[in-house]
Amino acid sequence: MHGHSDITNNTWSGDWTAIKSLIPYFMEFKGRVLLAIAFLILAKLSNIVIPFAMKYIVDALDSTQTQVIAVPILFLLMYGLLRLSTILFGEIRDTIFGRVTERAMRRIGLKLFRHLHTLDLDFHLSRRTGGLSRDIERGTTGISFLMRFMLFNILPTILEIALVAIILLVNYNVWYAVIIIIAVSIYAAYSILITEWRTHFVREMNEMDNKTNTRAIDSLLNFETVKYFCNEDYEAQQYDQNLAGWEKARAKNRLSLATLNFGQAFVVAGSITVIMTMAAHDVVSGAMTLGDLVLVNAFMMQLFIPLNFLGFVYREIKRALADIEHMFSLLNKETSIKDKDNAEQLMLGNGMIRFENVSFSYKSDRQILTDVSFEIPAGKKVAVVGPSGAGKTTIARLLFRFYDVSSGRITINNQDIRDVTQNSLRSVIGVVPQDTVLFNNTIYYNIAYGRPDASDDDIKEAARLAHLDDFIKQLPDGYQTMVGERGLKVSGGEKQRIAIARMLLKNPGIIVFDEATSSLDSTSEQAILEALREVAANNTTLAIAHRLSTIIDADNIVVLDKGCVVEQGSHNVLLKKNGLYAKLWELQQREASEPTEALTAVNISTH
């Protein structure tokens, strides 16, 4: 039992933390919040007065006095006005508070978006983008939901129960108040307990629904594969299995909902019967008028209508609190790459780069780089080569400070890159990555991204330097051509040129090519290499390469193997050394000269 209370305590402390985190965002509009609460109280007070109007109408109609026409008309008008004002005050309250909720959602949404961009590469490599966007969306929707139901459903209902109990205590037999409080307590406890029990079925139903959906979409996306293997019946069978699971889950969910509804109806019917029996008895004995009986009945109805949604509201509030807590836990995630408190701006100067005894590991049990030292003199081109898994790309990531070195240091113009701001460091480095990802927008937008405030002429000049202008001229929409999601509508070569143009527009002092041509065919590769040579002529350049033919012209070639520098020198010097570089060179030359075997495996037998 003790364990269960611990869990409950944890949940409640988590819930309270989520609510506390929101308070500062709502304090931005203190006046609006107070005004909304004032209208909330007015709406409830109007609601409480309605049964009194009904009592007086019934009593006036019931009486045998002469002013029988005038009085009920007055009360009927009052009744109509009260009904209207309840709704009016509620609407005003929603309108006033809506602004507060929306501003809080906007502030938190923006803060979270900015925060996610400050987190390190490690976080972004291990996250699931879809899941992350759902976390943000669910968290902000949760805020809106929590505010609406906490403030406008739970609190007003509690206020109303308290007011009704006081009115009944003061005006009538004490038992009316006691029975109402007991009935409401049983109703609330039952709703919450059954909702907790039902949550499991609701979750199971949603999971089965997702599964069925995923299965259907997966099958339709692989339409051709299904046809190749004549597996339409098999797919239908699989889909039906998932549907059967969903059907079973729905049935459980429906039965549990019926249990909830029946139990709630039983409590309502039972308590109303008891109260009405007491009231009827009091009317007969003359202790109450007929109007009092109507008033008590109206109070009962009014209390149970908002409580009707209690199970749903309770479940949704719990979910909203969990979503909000999850979102705030993202906000509390610390990045491992931080600027020092006294970090200065990087002074690029001549742009000379030094790696001094750099060691690095992503995880303690797997060393990636060990004691790597080399330098890239100002305006020179240095290439880093080696077998795959040697740690080449890690070197580019460390220079860009996506990660910090485990030991040793990297300097630019004799400044340790950990002592300068990340912004000033990254603003002087231009990167053309191995896998260029483009925004789902126009070619123009993607080039302009290198410097969003650049002029039209600058953007076109960057495209010309990257040898993109001929390609763009052939397109019917020219620069306004959409590149598709992740740039899938343009070929590998064009994509790389857009990346080069974008990098040129940034006009960096240091250029990093991370296997920038590895995914291209040899014709595109030659054209792009030409463009890269022109571009990098006067810049300090680091080229990470897999294909050695692309870096023959480098001033110095650093050969990595298993994270260590095994040799370095120019292309010719390294060939004479007859070490690892010479072996790799020979291997790649042989691969390039061997003719591709023709595919002769298409064997169509005719029987």
Task: Examine the domain organization and report whether 57 and 154 are in the same domain.
Answer: yes
Torsion of CA 482, 487, 490, 491, to 10 degrees: 180
* Residues spanned by the domain of 556: 343-428+509-607
Q: In this structure, what CATH number is given to the domain that contains residue 395?
A: 3.40.50.300
Structure tokens at 548: 């050695």
Which amino acid makes up residue 355? F
Q: Nearest CA to 83 among 106, 102, 57, 121?
A: 57
Residue 6 within a domain: no
Which amino acid makes up residue 56? Y
Structure tokens at 91: 């609407």
- When divided into structural domains, the chain yields a total of 4
- The last residue of one of the domains, among 475, 507, 539, is 507
Residue 307 within a domain: no
Task: Examine the domain organization and report whether 418 and 489 are in the same domain.
Answer: no
Which amino acid makes up residue 2? H
- The last residue of one of the domains, among 478, 507, 536, is 507
Task: Examine the domain organization and report whether 66 and 104 are in the same domain.
Answer: yes
Residue 298 within a domain: no
Residue 299 within a domain: no
Structure tokens at 535: 């571009």
Q: Nearest CA to 185 among 112, 257, 267, 116?
A: 267
Q: What is the pLDDT of residue 574?
A: 93
Task: Examine the domain organization and report whether 33 and 78 are in the same domain.
Answer: yes
Task: Examine the domain organization and report whether 530 and 473 are in the same domain.
Answer: no
* Long-range contacts, stretch 596-603, CB < 8 angstroms, 24+ apart: none
Residue 293 within a domain: no
Task: Examine the domain organization and report whether 180 and 276 are in the same domain.
Answer: yes
Task: Examine the domain organization and report whether 29 and 110 are in the same domain.
Answer: yes
* Gap between the Cα atoms of 9 and 3, Å rounded: 10
Residue 300 within a domain: no
Structure tokens at 241: 């299995």
Task: Examine the domain organization and report whether 27 and 139 are in the same domain.
Answer: yes
Task: Examine the domain organization and report whether 29 and 154 are in the same domain.
Answer: yes
Task: Examine the domain organization and report whether 543 and 413 are in the same domain.
Answer: yes
Structure tokens at 451: 């410097």
Coil vs helix vs strand at 198: helix
Task: Examine the domain organization and report whether 239 and 328 are in the same domain.
Answer: no
Residue 18 within a domain: yes
Q: What is the pLDDT of residue 445?
A: 93
Residue 394 within a domain: yes
Task: Examine the domain organization and report whether 360 and 404 are in the same domain.
Answer: yes
pTM: 0.68
Q: What is the pLDDT of residue 115?
A: 87
Running along the chain, 607 residues long, what does each successive block of 10 average in pLDDT?
Answer: 45 66 79 85 84 79 60 78 86 83 85 85 68 75 80 78 84 86 89 85 84 86 88 91 91 90 89 89 86 85 77 79 80 84 88 93 84 92 87 89 92 93 92 84 92 92 86 88 73 83 89 76 71 76 87 91 92 92 90 56 43
- The last residue of one of the domains, among 447, 473, 507, is 507
* Gap between the Cα atoms of 48 and 43, Å rounded: 9
Q: In this structure, what CATH number is given to the domain that contains residue 26?
A: 1.20.1560.10
